[in-house]
Amino acid sequence: MEAVQRERPTYSPTRAQELATSILASAKPQVRDEFVEFNQQIEAYLNEFHSLHKQLQEWKQVHDVLQDLQFTFGPCRGYIVALSQLASSGRATRKQCEKMLYEVEVEWRAFRRSLFKLQELAANVHVISGSRQPSEPGPDWARQPLNGANEVDKALFDSDVVALADKLSAFGNTVDQSLYIADKALLAVANRINDLPQPILPRTRLP
């Protein structure tokens, strides 16, 4: 204990290893066995702590990208009601439809580039998505929005006003749902970190 108290202000991994080697070399067999078990428990705790913080970091990245998508999708989302009204009016001219489709496409193409961040992130996170082959589909929080974006592209290519309103609405809902999943995951990991055993601080000796 005195050695630990002396070394605590200048702790270093190298010095900690030296102390461990010294204890294992000089202690009685029972003490050595208990010391080895203690170090195994500490190592397991630190591994779990590191893993949880890595998960927290990656989920925070996912949350930030999805939140940015939700915000930048706003101008496109604003056209959903107008497209639905245009499709249901029965009096819309071809010129009106073409004008609306052009305006939506301009906003959508500007937004579409933002999805690259999501695609790139899905390819670079490892802890929360597990190991997978490059040919395997990505995690749901990335795959579903990307698939939804392809559906919007198709509706624009077909100049289908009715389908475009539906696909834009579905895409927005998918981004909202993916962000909700990321929020829940963040909270779950934070709770797991908080549930880890807390260190017991040594009591200060009174003079």
The tokens describing 175, both together, are 């981004």
The tokens describing 119, both together, are 């695609």
Overall size of the chain counted in residues: 207
pLDDT given at position 136? 60
Mean of per-residue pLDDT scores for the chain: 83
The tokens describing 2, both together, are 């005195």
Mean pLDDT, range 101-122, rounded to an integer: 93
> Is the per-residue pLDDT at 59 higher than 90?
yes
> Is the per-residue pLDDT at 29 higher than 80?
no
> Is the per-residue pLDDT at 11 higher than 60?
no
pLDDT tens digits, 167-190:
999 999 999 999 999 999 999 998
pLDDT given at position 116? 93
pLDDT given at position 206? 44
What is the DSSP track for 46-113?
A: HHHHHHHHHHHHHHHHHHHHHHHHHHHTHHHHTTHHHHHHHHHHS---HHHHHHHHHHHHHHHHHHHT
- CATH fold for domain 56-194: Four Helix Bundle (Hemerythrin (Met), subunit A) (1.20.120)
Top pLDDT among 28 and 123 is at 123
pLDDT given at position 132? 58
Top pLDDT among 9 and 165 is at 165
> Is the per-residue pLDDT at 164 higher than 90?
yes
> Is the per-residue pLDDT at 4 higher than 60?
no
Could you tell me the end-to-end alpha-carbon distance of the chain, in angstroms, rounded to an integer?
A: 18
pLDDT given at position 133? 56
Any idea which of 33-37, 57-61, 142-146, 164-168 has the lowest mean pLDDT? 33-37
Percent of the chain with pLDDT over 90: 50
User: CA 123, CA 143: separation in Å to the nearest integer?
Assistant: 11
Mean pLDDT, range 35-48, rounded to an integer: 77
pLDDT category, 1, cuts 50, 70, 90?
very low
> Is the per-residue pLDDT at 68 higher than 90?
yes
pLDDT tens digits, 80-98:
999 998 888 777 788 888 9
